[in-house]
Chain A
Amino acid sequence: MIQIEKLRKVYRGRGREVTAVDGVDLTVAEGEVFGVLGRSGAGKSTLLRCVNLLERPDEGRVVIGGRDLLALRGGELRRARQGIGMIHQHFGLLGSRTVAGNVAFPLEVMGVPRAERAKRVAELLELVGLTEHAGAYPARISGGQKQRVGIARALAGRPRVLLSDEATSSLDPETTASILALLRDLNRRLGLTVLLITHEMDVVKRICDSAAVMRDGRFTESGPVPELLARPGSELARGLFPLPPAEPRDGSTLIEVTFTGGATGEPFVSALARKYSVDVNILGGAVETVGGERVGRLQLELPGDPPQNAAQLAFLRESGLAVEIKNPDREDAR
């Protein structure tokens, strides 16, 4: 549904050049929720703004629903944008219009006749649960309600794609949860494809099917969330399951094990201990529900150097676990 190829965006000014997006490839399948995770300054906001051409990329391709956006000009581009909803961190609501007036705005832009507009606005407000606030001004409603208005407005033109620019970053945790639940619900009910950017791990955990980690204008990792979590060395896994810093002691092997889906049910620690008669020391661990699946990471210490634990490590890997050896890299540790 969204296809981005080799996207590059450079900001130039006063002899300085800042490459905000440095060759990003990204594909979001229809009906998928894709999250781009990164700190501020990573270039994720620029990336998102390049998707509906609020910023014009210097290089690359942006194809949405089979249409090459960079080939469009003027009115064509405006019409294409009407089919791409966008929600914003600071909501971007018109303070001079009521809730209903804000939702009606994109319909006016699209040239929808007045009577039809009123009907559609009522539908949209119902969809986001704001019917009773139709006549209120944005300054009078809460942050969560403002974002619901933003969502209703973004959906006015029945878009198939929704772009979310840190939509929950200025909301408290509970409100964030309710907005994310709403987005997930809309994604399922309307088959909406969602591309979101965020700096909150929690957002990825709660609603993303796929995710990418962005740093210095590039994706350092990208793929379906369960796959990323199972990938050794994954930043996403580390971020979602922070484990205490630990130094391997001499004569022991320090490993981090990530288990997803089916492997969660297996009592692999005790199986390992029994099968090889080793004392397994659990140093730390975390279990979370990601995309409806139980996922966890454990930090374990096994007696003996890594080479001595070859069989044990193989056993764990065969059980469907991602195993990462934290001992310093030596050729024998590989």
Chain B
Amino acid sequence: MSWDEVMPLLWPATRETLYMTGVATLFTAVLGLLLGVLLVITERGGLLPAPPVNKGLGVVVNIGRSLPFLILMVAIIPFTRVVVGTSIGNAAAIVPLTVGAIPFYARLVEIALREVDPGVLAAADAMGATRREIVGKVMLREARPGLVSGLTVTVIALIGYTAMAGTVGGGGLGNLAVVYGYERFETKVMVATVALLIVLVLLIQAAGDLVARRLTHR
């Protein structure tokens, strides 16, 4: 294959990767944030102590995090079918991507929220703030840089996961690299996809760092 033949393959694959990563990130950000907040506030001595709930969520998160993505993707095919109506293709890949990334991001959210100075939370409590205000205006707001950094790490992990989307008939750069680069020994395709992935990751990391820095007031 000449470079002229490689180029037209790259753009659709990149778009597919961005599509899968983008949609999965959207859902992960919302649901992972929610789960992370729940993990923190339901613990003993938290804002909404519910130790059994906390324990249950912890177990779910740990199970979610211990399953290799490839296996998770296959294992939840029935669920995927319920959600998007099919178990094949890019849209079908988004479901396991999201399911896999939620517990990952939830843990990072948990870490970021724990970093918030308990003295600030106590101060808000002493001012008569409601729990909702303490979570929204203090916890989440104070933790913003950490939440953004965590999301950056999650997005990059998601890009890695999308490489396996081909397993369920999805596309993307990873799939392109496997199908052309690996199975057909097209080194140029391999090199091009790897280069694109590196650039993509660097850009996302740079953007994440920039936003996190903007939110840090040191």
The residues of A with any CB-CB pair to B shorter than 8 Å are: 52, 54, 77-82, 84, 86, 88-97, 105-106, 108-110, 137-140, 153, 157, 163
Contact = CB atoms under 8 A, between A and B. Distances in A.
Contacts of A157: 127
Contacts, number: 71
B122 A88 contact: yes
A95 B119 CA distance: 12
Given A78-B128, A96-B141, A105-B137, A90 B217 contact: no
17 contacts: A52-B126, A54-B122, A78-B129, A80-B128, A82-B127, A84-B126, A86-B123, A86-B127, A92-B117, A92-B119, A92-B122, A92-B123, A105-B137, A106-B128, A108-B137, A109-B128, A137-B217
B218 A92 contact: no
Counting contact residues on chain B (CB < 8 A from A), the size range is 20 to 34
A94 B137 CA distance: 9
Contacts of A93: 120, 123
Interface in B122-171: 122-130, 133, 137-138, 141-142, 144
A317 B124 CA distance: 52
B125 A96 contact: no
B145 to A, nearest CB: 9
A97 B123 CA distance: 14
Contact of B128 (A81, A97, A137, A153): A81
Given A78-B129, A109-B129, 14 more contacts: A80-B128, A81-B126, A82-B127, A90-B119, A91-B119, A92-B117, A92-B122, A93-B120, A93-B123, A94-B120, A94-B142, A109-B130, A139-B217, A163-B126
A309 B195 CA distance: 99
A82 B128 contact: yes
Contact of B117 (A77, A90, A106): A90
Interface string B195-217: 00000000000000000000101
A144 B217 CA distance: 19
A81 B144 CA distance: 27
B44 to A, nearest CB: 10
Interface of B is mostly: helix
Query: Most chain-B CB neighbours within 10 Å: which of A52, A92, A138, A139?
Result: A92
A108 to B, nearest CB: 7
A105 B126 CA distance: 12
B142 A96 contact: yes
A172 B160 CA distance: 52
Interface of B: 117, 119-120, 122-130, 133, 137-138, 141-142, 144, 215, 217-218
Contacts of A77: 128
Contact of A81 (B117, B127, B133, B142): B127
Query: Most chain-A CB neighbours within 10 Å: which of B124, B125, B128, B217?
Result: B128
A139 B117 CA distance: 14
Contacts of B215: 96
A110 to B, nearest CB: 7
B126 A95 contact: no
A90 B121 CA distance: 12
B117 A96 contact: no
A79 B217 contact: no
Nearest 6 CB-CB pairings of A with B? A92-B123, A81-B128, A137-B217, A78-B128, A82-B128, A86-B126
Contacts of B125: 54, 81
A139 B218 CA distance: 5
A109 B117 contact: no
Contacts of B117: 90, 92, 95
B51 to A, nearest CB: 14
Contacts of A88: 119, 122-123
A79 B128 CA distance: 6
Contacts of A95: 117, 120, 142, 217
B120 to A, nearest CB: 5
Nearest to B142: A96
Nearest to B121: A92
Contacts of B128: 77-82, 106, 109-110
Contacts of A54: 122, 125-126
